[in-house]
Structure 1
């Protein structure tokens, strides 16, 4: 009976370890395809790069303004805003939940947008987000994007309590 017990134990161990490894691979790919490019686009004001990380069928929901936009409507404001090349900003992400399989993902977290970083005029803004992603031709893209400051209750403490973008052990 002991050999069957050991076989079952090791089989379950390797299956669960394999699932964790696969999930980590998906999250690393999402970080590369989406979050790295999202941050780079914000910092370099690269409208084309920002456009490329969203699916054509994007649904964008703003909890603060209670508006739903399609891709064209949503990205129009960035094109106008980023035409001002004097804008200096950074954006970073921390996570509350990350669920992914080989083609779809759901991620919830906190973002921190900082305008005029490292200057006397530095100001940071925070929000909670929930995105749905899908893989298109081997590349992860944003399919749905919801965010809200939740009546300005999301702050530096909320941001710091969430998990770092490369902390895959939490998922």
Structure 2
């Protein structure tokens, strides 16, 4: 019985270490990727937006069925965001977050709102799956896929996913 108690104690101890390490990775990803991603969208800063993506980026849009590299992808934002005179916000909720020391996979739902808090407010939703890689000590988006899944992703889908800082869910 004493040996069983020791095994259970060791399992719980090491399990907590793994959970704590993964939580630290997720917090770092929030700092390195999701916070600047949000700021870039809200300030129309394509340079900041480019900085969170790996040079090896593979960007896939399920809705338009195309695949782009980093240069083409960022150029699209540069053109769209020049002389922008509206406001927008973006936020993320998660279905799954898996991370180790050098790579991570995250799936979730985003909400993009144009002209927030106005009569012209409009929100768009999509499901995303990103693969991240740690490069020179900083997390970067390596693969970025999203889709509205034929406009079936909505406010309900968004609300059912977990908050960005709800680390206990993973």
TM-score (norm 1): 0.98
Asked whether 1:62 is paired with 2:61, we answer yes
**Quick one: distance in 2 between partners of 1:157 and 1:22?**
31
Q: CA deviation at 1:3?
A: 2.4
Q: CA deviation at 1:85?
A: 3.1
Equivalence for 1:169: 168
Q: CA deviation at 1:151?
A: 0.2
Equivalence for 1:24: 23
Equivalence for 1:128: 127
**Quick one: distance in 2 between partners of 1:148 and 1:9?**
43
Equivalence for 1:15: 14
Deviations 1:23-80 (A, max 9, x none): 1000000000000000000001111110000000100000000000000111111001
Q: CA deviation at 1:100?
A: 0.3
**Quick one: distance in 2 between partners of 1:15 and 1:35?**
29
**Quick one: distance in 2 between partners of 1:6 and 1:129?**
43
Equivalence for 2:91: 92
What secondary structure, in the 3-state scheme, does the structure 1 residue paired with 2:22 have? helix
Equivalence for 2:49: 50
What secondary structure, in the 3-state scheme, does the structure 1 residue paired with 2:47 have? helix
Q: CA deviation at 1:6?
A: 1.6
Deviations 1:91-147 (A, max 9, x none): 000000000001000000000000000110000000000000000010000000000
Equivalence for 2:32: 33
TM-score (norm 2): 0.98
Q: CA deviation at 1:7?
A: 1.1
Unaligned runs of 5+ in 1: none
Q: CA deviation at 1:84?
A: 2.0
Asked whether 1:72 is paired with 2:62, we answer no
